[in-house]
A and B are shown apart, each in its own frame.
Chain A
Amino acid sequence: DAKTTQPPSMDCAEGRAANLPCNHSTISGNEYVYWYRQIHSQGPQYIIHGLKNNETNEMASLIITEDRKSSTLILPHATLRDTAVYYCIVRVSNAGGTSYGKLTFGQGTILTVHP
């Protein structure tokens, strides 16, 4: 799986958008971009994933650049409960679209949302 690079920490004011960047310049054509987060003392939680199109769900939006070498996770209206470590992961998927096996976590970005 391709390696990702994330800033170690970021701050955001409550109610504002949090934009978390991720570089994955060696991503392959069959690798998807996943985002998980881990709130203190809890297990990681899936947020969103994508291949090449922008994606949105009830938690966040994922913007992937056209060359797929980087992406941004957007939390549109950050709350204090969004304070967590955010992990960007790229992961192989087979031709049928199913991903197998392990997640390879880096150190992630510690997002702190301030009142």
Chain B
Amino acid sequence: DTGVSQNPRHKITKRGQNVTFRCDPISEHNRLYWYRQTLGQGPEFLTYFQNEAQLEKSRLLSDRFSAERPKGSFSTLEIQRTEQGDSAMYLCASSSLRTSGSSYNEQFFGPGTRLTVL
């Protein structure tokens, strides 16, 4: 399967613990995005990378959240000192950099990591 993969698919943790999620984008996609989705809501943007550079961060990304993409390939999202309000689906997406032709920048999403904080 050459789609976006995310690990783990499910994570249950106790409040105050740190968690780390991994996203492997589609090969050669140089843009990688993180979103968070709570029940009944659409996904909310957290941050995005172009290659290894983190170009935009949402205000939703508090100091407890950190994302990295060290070699411009896979990415990790870490949440420190988890809170119950962090319980959500964390989605990763990737896209290619199109500079000509079609005007769209289609994002391919992974299946998500569901986090439950007890």
What residues make up the interface of A, taking CB atoms closer than 8 Å to B?
A: 32, 34, 41-46, 49, 51, 85, 87, 93, 96-108
Contact check, A106 vs B48: say whether CB atoms are below 8 A apart. Answer: no
B2 at interface by CB-CB < 8 Å: no
Q: State the majority secondary structure of interface residues on B.
A: loop
Interface of A is mostly: loop
The minimal Cβ–Cβ distance linking A108 to chain B, given in whole angstroms, is 6
Cα A2 to Cα B55 with chains together (Å): 21
Question: Which of B65-73, B80-88, B100-108 contacts its partner?
Answer: B100-108
Taking CB atoms, residues of chain B closer than 8 Å to A99 are 103-105
Which of A41, A49, A51, A97 counts the most chain B CB atoms within 10 A?
Answer: A97
Write the residues of chain B forming the contact surface with A, with a CB cutoff of 8 angstroms. 4, 33, 35, 40-45, 48, 55-56, 58, 91, 93, 97-112
Query: Once the chains bind, are A105 and B42 in contact (CB under 8 Å)?
Result: yes
Assuming the contacts A43-B93, A43-B111, A98-B103, asked whether A103 and B41 have C-beta atoms less than 8 A apart, the reply is no
Q: Is the CB of A42 within 8 A of B111?
A: yes
Q: Chain B residues with Cβ under 8 A from A107's Cβ?
A: 40-42
In the complex, the answer to whether A105 meets B43 with C-beta atoms within 8 Å is yes
Q: How many whole Å from B93's CB to the nearest CB in chain A?
A: 7
CA distance A13 to B58 in the complex (A): 40
